[in-house]
Amino acid sequence: MKRTSRDSEDSARRITRRALFMGGCMAATMAGLGARMRYLGVEEADQFRLLAEENRINIQLIPPARGLILDRNGKIIAGNEQNYRVVITREGAGDVQLVLNRLSHLIPMTETDMTRVLKDVDRNSSFVPIPVADRLSWDDFSKVALNAPALPGVTPDVGLSRVYPRDTDFAHVVGYVGPVSENDLEGLENPDPLLHIPKFQIGKIGVEKWMEDTLRGSAGNKKIEVNHVGRVMRELDKTDGVSGANLRLTIDADIQNFVQARLGDQSAACVVIDVTNGDLIAIASAPSFNPNLFVRGITRRDYDVLTGNDFRPLANKAVQGGYPPGSTFKMVTGLAALSDGKISLDTVVNCPGYLQFGDRKFNCWKKGGHGKVDVRSALTQSCDVFFYDVAQRVGIDKIAEMGRKMGLGQRHDLPMSAISEGTLPDRAWKQEKLKQDWRIGDTINAAIGQGYVVATPLQLAVMAARVATGRSVVPRLIREIDGKAVPVEEAADLGFETSHLTAVHDGMIGVVNSDRGTSFAARIANDAMLMAGKSGTSQVRNISAAERETGVVGNNDLPWKQRDHALFVCFAPADAPRYAVAVVVEHGGGGSSVAAPIARDAMLRALTGSVPDPKDYPANQRGRIDTMLKELKLRSPDGSQPTDTRA
């Protein structure tokens, strides 16, 4: 078909438009390519020139500064110190073994050190810095820095390491940090990238562990440029991490130090609590250990010394040690009977020195008996028979219910390791645990804190605080987080009748202030600080009837592990309680003679705010007390090493 001239003109116009469109697209593309080439060839010329020389860019995590742990007055308990160290990356080093051999001529390195580094290098990505040595001297650190060109992949670095300036004083409370282990990573779905940094330190026990997320902070990072031999050329970019939050504890470092020193080398524990708000002022467990040993890598020899000690220095006896509370439990039995109406304030029980139940005789500690006693005098003189009698009237379930109300048989929620809930038995407990029915004899034993009853020093301190106030005082350890106060809830009223609580207070005041009291020698000779207390001596072995007839073997004549535990709880001032104290001395003997003097000293230290003055002690004790106080090795206010207290 012949095309008309009109058709030819239309076709030509269409071809012209397409050509113009295609030409425009090509021109735009060429312009874009030209601009990109100019950017790469001119503006980025320096960077690509370096890359052409086989330079590489590494991104490294920057560990944040760990949050500080302070006492209630702002004194550092756990801090950070500068740490000169050396790290190596496989990517930069190439032949790691060769580089380590060169490095060993500059800084102290053993075959064990080299083997450990090689294993860490193999286990981690090629760009991850592996610690080779830390805590280097400035001279060794300088040697590495000066020889950097001959040490590809090796970087001298200044980091932070944990340090505990008050070492043994807070070991059981604050704990310590250590390198992340496989066990630490188990169960974590999305672990923090910081945890994959070799030898990165995290909390292992105590506050360090239980407040880990708060103390750790978040990582920063830096982008560095290294050449083909691994030498750092320049730092391209850096983003600082966020430091961990600082924690302020309720504990007073000076009181803690005094209590720790007062416990000395005994296997013992002491807890001081502010009854007005639950603040734990001191939590001491003896003997203690130096947590700095664990941070720096404890030697097998040092660890064996700790684990081989019969006094168990690694155990925090204040919160995990379980002990029969002995006669310190008698306030619970008495309040249970009074509250349930099974006895009145005028109820009198005759104590001939024993209680006969069936064919079994339950003895009082006083062989000749106490005669007629009521609840006040029974507490003052610690008459066992009175509480044997009233316990049968009220029953174990009511006694256990009262014990729980007083803070026993429960795990108090504190950021510390291995806190025990103790044992507060009742009928259901024995059936569940032992598959046995409860017996009257079990109730009689429990009435004086023996048998199945087990409590920790922390629980006994809480019990004393609740007896002192009639309120459900709850212990707390964290006072502030990053400068923000942790709120304190007002303790609820426990609902005791005033007369019942007053009677118990009167009995406890008599314990240390009446010449018939079991702890009269441990009184405070200052009416403004009158102390109320209760001693306890809990048996750890059975005493046979034959031994009672011939005479019970004295504690000093028994092997250490067969001696009685010594306990004492107290609060003061008696008319307006401020602090409560609990002391347990393992296998220490008598509570009145061993535990009560320690509790009195701790109480005076808390009440007066300074080392006790011998004038606050009975006149016939002042010379001995003055000598004892002078011999205590206490830290100076700035936390430096112990010095003679009153020399």
Domain with CATH 3.40.710.10 in the chain: 253-610
- What residue type is assigned to position 227 of the chain? N
Position with higher pLDDT, 111 vs 5: 111
pLDDT score recorded for residue 102: 87
Residues 622, 362: Cα–Cα separation, whole Å: 40
Q: What is the pTM of this model?
A: 0.85
Mean pLDDT of 304-324: 95
Please work out, in degrees rounded to the nearest 5, the angle formed at the alpha carbon of residue 518 by the alpha carbons of 516 and 519.
110
How far, rounded to the nearest angstrom, does the alpha carbon of residue 344 sit from its chain's CA centroid? 43
Q: Could you tell me if 241 and 441 are in contact, meaning their C-beta atoms sit under 8 angstroms apart?
A: no
CATH 3.50.50.60 is right for the domain spanning 253-610: no
Length of the chain: 647
The residues that bridge with 534 in the sheet, in sequence order, are 569
For the segment 2-27, the average pLDDT, to the nearest whole number, is: 65
Query: Three-state DSSP class for 82?
Result: strand
Q: Specify whether the CB–CB gap between 480 and 251 falls below 8 A.
A: no
C-alpha separations of 363 from 444, 540, 589 in Å: 11, 16, 18
Tens-place pLDDT, residues 527-567: 999 999 999 998 876 665 555 555 666 677 788 788 899 99
CATH code that applies to domain 58-249: 3.90.1310.10
Q: How confident is the model at residue 402 (pLDDT cuts 50, 70, 90)?
A: very high
Cα 385 from Cα 398, distance rounded (Å): 19
| 260, pLDDT greater than 60 | yes
Structure tokens at 638: 């700035």
Sign of CA dihedral 242, 243, 244, 245: negative
- Catalytic residue list contains 640: no
Ordered DSSP codes for 133-149: E-S--HHHHHHHHHTGG
Q: What are the Cα distances from residue 327, in Å, to 116, 449, 508?
A: 55, 6, 12
H or E segment to which residue 508 belongs: helix 498-513
CB distance 379 to 508 below 8 Å? yes
pLDDT of residue 585: 97
> What average pLDDT does the structure give for the chain?
88
Strand partners for 179: 201
- Distance, CA of 303 to CA of 535 (rounded, Å): 36
**CATH 3.90.1310.10: which residues of the chain?**
58-249
CB 588 within 8 A of CB 566: yes
CA distances to 9, 78, 548 from 554, rounded to whole Å, are 130, 44, 12
| Cα–Cα distance for residue pair 601/629, rounded to 1 Å | 10
Burial class (CB in 10 A: 0-12, 13-18, 19+), 558: middle
C-alpha distances out from residue 197 to 62, 120, 292, 454, Å: 10, 10, 21, 43
pLDDT at 511: 98
d(CA 81, CA 63): 14
What are 461-497's pLDDT values in tens digits?
A: 999 999 999 999 999 999 999 999 999 989 999 999 9
pLDDT tens readout for residues 57-106: 666 777 889 999 999 999 999 999 988 888 888 877 888 888 888 888 88
Residue whose structure tokens are 């809930």: 421
Q: Are 219 and 243 in contact (CB under 8 A)?
A: no
Say whether pLDDT at 5 is over 70.
no
CA 597 – CA 594 distance, rounded (Å): 6
Q: What's the rounded Cα separation, in Å, for the pair 321 and 310?
A: 14
List 327, 339, 382, 519, catalytic entry? 327
